[in-house]
A and B are shown apart, each in its own frame.
Chain A
Amino acid sequence: MAACRDIIIVGGGIAGMTAAIYAARANMDVLLLEKDTCGGLANETRAVENFPSYSTIGGMELMERIRDQVIGLGVVIEEINRVDGLITEGLKRVMTEEGEVEARAVILSTGRKPIPLPVGTEWQENIHYCSVCDGLLYQGKDVIVVGGGNSGFDESLYLAELGVRSIQILEMMDRFPADETTRRKANAAGVIKTRTGCRIIDVQPTGNRGEVIVENLKSGKTETVFIDGIFVFIGQKPNTGFLAGNIRLDDNGYVLVDQRMRTNVPGVFAAGDVVTKEYRQLTTAMSDGTVAALEACQYVREWKKDHV
């Protein structure tokens, strides 16, 4: 096994990268493990317009700038290295798909992942979660976007720009959670229709298209819609499956922490979207990462005093 690190950060979104900056500047030996590439869900945001210092910046560009800063501070980043388990007795042992690494403290910042469409179907090839990746397939075609939050509207606008012929946004609630500015832009696009109070209950392939049954949640009546693809933006769920009972979670799978970002296990901290909290923003994730790193550094210093 490699030498024991001071701190291992699991997850390279903005919370994890902020924690890495603070821990590195406190002279800690830091390893940051990331399942995919650093940046997390922010990589999928086309324009970030609420981040102090930039009136507008691409999510991917912002994350790359932060990653550069982290590397410049000497933090070792291992991307494309998924963490599969955590053993919390004594020194923390982090099991990855490439082997085992050990640290005095661990910060969990694994973020969240998209919730899949809750309808079983054999039409999976035409169900998507990334309009930049798959939108081009639907130029001149008809799609449904599931989810009426800001993501659903933003992604619909992107699909409209690509030349998708018609877009129907479906929202289960009786109002759209998306902000008014975004909704107004969508209305002006001309090809986006919106519906609240409904959900998809069945999807079947039929020829080259999909037959979608949409249920009106008030009346219970159903309607059949023929479309070419479905894009799903109905929120996220926490990436905590690998914790397997070691760390206390809430009923929805989020990590429970105190105000100092401490979990129930001494030496294990958590930060960002993966923790139980009210607001999930880049700036709140940075705050969590800062607190978790300062606390982890303090924990490591005390550990070292006790183990001279």
Chain B
Amino acid sequence: MQACATVLTTESIGTFTTTNDCLVLFHKSRCPNCKVMFKVLEKSQQQQPNMVFVSVSIETEPDLAAELEIGRVPTVVIYRNGKPVGKRSGVLRPAELVAWYNNS
């Protein structure tokens, strides 16, 4: 699947989210809706270039997914100042995602 977003792991997510406000996409390979959400995030980033978007595979990081109670994919979590402040599962349209990010 798409590899353009920075890929985070159990080891790197803490440091990254502390130093960057961001959207984290939790996904799986072969998940059609995850593929759509990668594109939605890419498109949203074009509309709002300061938005940082990274990804975590729940297949390679199952413990992290369990710790964060991520069962469904795609799930997007918004981090601000190292803390998760919003979480949504399923496919969103770009305008919906940008509005949610700006209001979180």
Whether a CB of chain B sits under 8 angstroms from the CB of A26 is no
User: Whose C-beta in chain A lies nearest to the C-beta of B73?
Assistant: A133
B36 touches A36 (CB 8 A): yes
Whether a CB of chain B sits under 8 angstroms from the CB of A136 is yes
Q: Which residues in A have their C-beta under 8 angstroms from that of B43?
A: 79-80
Whether a CB of chain B sits under 8 angstroms from the CB of A189 is no
A130 touches B32 (CB 8 A): yes
User: Whose C-beta in chain A lies nearest to the C-beta of B74?
Assistant: A133
CB distance from B65 to the nearest CB of A (A): 8
Q: Which residues in B have their C-beta under 8 angstroms from that of A80?
A: 36, 39-40, 43, 93-94
Other-chain residue from B31, B39, B93, B95 in contact with A132 (beta carbon distance below 8 A): B31
| Interface magnitude class on chain B | 20 to 34
B36 touches A132 (CB 8 A): no
Whether a CB of chain B sits under 8 angstroms from the CB of A287 is no
B35 touches A97 (CB 8 A): no
Other-chain residue from A39, A58, A79, A130 in contact with B33 (beta carbon distance below 8 A): A130
Main secondary structure of the interface of A (DSSP, over half): loop
Other-chain residue from B30, B36, B93, B95 in contact with A37 (beta carbon distance below 8 A): B36
A46 touches B93 (CB 8 A): no
Interface residues contributed by chain A, number (CB under 8 Å) = 18
Whether a CB of chain A sits under 8 angstroms from the CB of B34 is yes
Whether a CB of chain B sits under 8 angstroms from the CB of A137 is yes
Whether a CB of chain A sits under 8 angstroms from the CB of B83 is no
Interface string of B2-43 (1 = CB under 8 A from A): 000000000000000000000000001011111110011001
Whether a CB of chain B sits under 8 angstroms from the CB of A43 is yes
Q: Which A171-221 residues have a C-beta within 8 angstroms of B?
A: none
CB distance from B37 to the nearest CB of A (A): 10
User: Whose C-beta in chain A lies nearest to the C-beta of B94?
Assistant: A80
Whether a CB of chain B sits under 8 angstroms from the CB of A258 is no
Q: Which residues in A have their C-beta under 8 angstroms from that of B34?
A: 133
Highest count of chain B CB atoms <10 Å: which of A37, A43, A133, A134 = A133
Q: Which residues in B have their C-beta under 8 angstroms from that of A43?
A: 32, 35
A130 to B71, CA, bound (A): 13
Whether a CB of chain B sits under 8 angstroms from the CB of A60 is yes
Q: Which B83-98 residues have a C-beta within 8 angstroms of A?
A: 91, 93-95
Q: Which residues in B have their C-beta under 8 angstroms from that of A46?
A: 30
A44 touches B71 (CB 8 A): no
User: Whose C-beta in chain A lies nearest to the C-beta of B41?
Assistant: A80
A60 touches B30 (CB 8 A): yes
A132 touches B71 (CB 8 A): no
Q: Which residues in A have their C-beta under 8 angstroms from that of B91?
A: 36
Interface string of A123-167 (1 = CB under 8 A from B): 000000010111011000000000000000000000000000000
B30 touches A132 (CB 8 A): yes
B72 touches A132 (CB 8 A): no
Q: Which residues in B have their C-beta under 8 angstroms from that of A132?
A: 28, 30-32
Q: Which residues in B have their C-beta under 8 angstroms from that of A97?
A: 93, 95
Whether a CB of chain A sits under 8 angstroms from the CB of B58 is yes
User: Whose C-beta in chain B lies nearest to the C-beta of A81?
Assistant: B43
Other-chain residue from A58, A60, A82, A134 in contact with B35 (beta carbon distance below 8 A): A60
A39 to B35, CA, bound (A): 11
User: Whose C-beta in chain B lies nearest to the C-beta of A61?
Assistant: B30
Q: Which residues in A have their C-beta under 8 angstroms from that of B36?
A: 36-37, 80
Listed A/B pairs (23) with beta-carbon separation below 8 Å: A36-B39, A37-B35, A37-B36, A37-B39, A43-B32, A58-B30, A60-B35, A79-B39, A79-B43, A80-B36, A80-B39, A80-B43, A80-B94, A97-B93, A132-B30, A132-B31, A133-B31, A133-B32, A134-B72, A136-B72, A136-B73, A137-B71, A137-B72
